[in-house]
Chains A and B, each alone.
Chain A
């Protein structure tokens, strides 16, 4: 494997690692300083879960170069599979059920990844879009998936690990943080491994990768499987630690777009970018709505305010992408002069 080109990403992988640890530490410590239910359950848990979902899509799109609009479908599969595994296999620990849910999502990912062997780009988007429409339909069509719930909604069981309850806001946060951290570390190692380099080789030029002895097909399918596994785990967390319930329609195309925006804004092919992007997507609308309410002092109707927020949110995204098309991760990276490659001034 030594002949595989080790692209520029080797540098960014290392940078991403440092920023990842910094981000992790900050995210882990901040709430215990500030500490409030609101921060835990309305901000941090969704940011962490969407970061994980962003990571899932980033592996597929940012590292392996395969476009997808089916992210939310794989989250839904993960959530419903975890629920059913936990419900129907007595005595199965919750964490194993989540891993199982991830595996089921990975299998579906493989299936929906098959078209990637033949088609690319926009055509591949169409195929993953099929997953996005098929899966919620399937889940709401057959009541078995939701254990015959009248509304087709699944209800998360109590969060118990070896008898310890995680059902408080801080507990749910700790649980989410633990799972997200473990999966992120595993993903980082995978990206730094030969498999990860194969993804990047296929992304940069699949013909050249093939000439180097990498099988593009197998590499793409592996990326689909890993990506879907992570999305599946993120979906299970979404249902179990964030909402406590999930409906198939809650993980719709809008959610897939949201995850895509997270990696575009955060940075393709970057680990820390997922966290930055998710924080941006979740926090900015909340900040805008609070700022708007304070600035206008409640003189404007909340409907006008909400529409203004949407305008401001869109404008800010455009501004960011113009200022830094490579995403927030790159922007943050530029702030640290020590991490910049040393450049010789031309004489």
Chain B
């Protein structure tokens, strides 16, 4: 008898495995949206989302906003009549899972062409960069990603929209400079950078050193190992050297822990400047009182007063179709970033449709749309996103476009915007970006496009 049991077990296992292997050609388990479209007639967005793990707050907010905006577009009849569809796959912010999700989702279930991928993870973006280029699917890394992918001549399919990491640093330095009375007053200042121990966190260290040499300030880069829930020694070090400012390049749980530990060692919160991934309600609120006065940058304020958010509320949330499990997060920073990202993706589809026709477009055609994005004040008004999205103009050589941020301060309950748009010095950064892109092209054997001919 004993021998039969493992045989049964193995047979069952084998059957399950075979079913799965056979099922590999039928990609995602569920493709949502576009209920009105015939198979293959929608514009498809594969979503490598994450709603569990240490970064769940960021993922669920961002993808919630993204999906809700897509639902709003569908409720209004799609993009020129082309409905949008999407499928989700959980990555947990883990690179290998992100790659598996990319491969699983890249082709839609019903044959609709794929517009773009938006993994919201530097690690996954790095790992799917080659694949995206080979598969001709744009890879969107809004407000993050590889800085040198700004140079579209080497990275035709990668778009660090709005704000790449170097622009972020430059804008923060401009703000610190303006507080001191000019960039020349940075000389002799002492700035500590507390960064997340990941490719994302490390990305700006080189450029900070370069700018420190240029402006004559002292930069102190201190790493916090992932996920960052223990920072006692780092903050003791900061307390000892007592820098003028601390730039917090955090992510997820690292941010509230940083603020709490700063309070513990006695470093003032209003001299900590959070970067673009340390700027949400979920970063400040858990730290309680310790977060009061904390400053951060943002490309888009939180809030629900923007017309586009009101439209989402009326057409999606109030109808019970909202994607957020906690409706209170409607209008928070991560959610609004998802909406911004949705607007930019859909606008790229719209721009590309103007050239290629009002039908579902291939990734290659949508790529053209991203590269020719030109969102001006009038368009922003039509979108109901004035103040939510910055004017953006992309080109073959510039896949970033904006490079401006505003500063906001946490008052213990919500963010208040405390500055006008602060522009990064993109001319200064451009040679650094080009040099890095050139090195990448050399390593990968890529011949850059000639952007003057595009």
**A residues with CB within 8 A of B:** 30, 34, 36-39, 41-43, 46, 87, 140, 143, 147-148, 150-153, 155-158, 167-168, 242-245, 247, 249-250, 279, 283, 286-287, 289-291, 293-294, 297-298, 301-303, 305-307, 323-324, 331-332, 334-335
Contacts and interface: CB of A to CB of B under 8 A. Distances in A.
B306 interface: no
A43 B122 CA distance: 22
A229 to B, nearest CB: 23
Interface in B187-223: 197-200, 202-207, 223
B149 to A, nearest CB: 11
A317 to B, nearest CB: 13
7 contacts: A244-B127, A244-B130, A287-B17, A290-B23, A306-B51, A306-B92, A334-B3
A140 B197 contact: yes
Given A140-B197, A150-B206, A157-B445, A38 B27 contact: yes
A-B pairs, top 6 by smallest CB distance, nearest first, are A151-B199, A293-B29, A303-B51, A42-B103, A42-B100, A244-B130
Nearest to A242: B99
A161 B322 CA distance: 51
Given A155-B444, A249-B226, 4 more contacts: A42-B104, A293-B30, A306-B51, A323-B5
B131 to A, nearest CB: 7
A134 B381 CA distance: 54
A133 to B, nearest CB: 10
A38 B16 contact: no
B202 A152 contact: yes
Contacts, number: 142
A247 B131 contact: no
Nearest to B145: A151
B21 A39 contact: yes
Contact of A148 (B25, B60, B99, B206): B206
The DSSP consensus for interface residues of chain A is helix
A252 to B, nearest CB: 8
B98 to A, nearest CB: 10
Contacts of B3: 334
A158 B202 contact: no
A84 to B, nearest CB: 12
Contacts of B56: 303
Interface string B1-25: 0010111011000001100111111
Contacts of A289: 89-90
B184 interface: no
Given A150-B202, A283-B17, A294-B29, A155 B440 contact: yes
B71 interface: no
A306 B10 CA distance: 25
Nearest to A250: B95
Nearest to B134: A167
Given A245-B129, A335-B7, A147 B443 contact: yes
The listed residue with most B CB atoms (<10 A of its CB), out of A46, A140, A156, A167, is A140
A66 B25 CA distance: 42
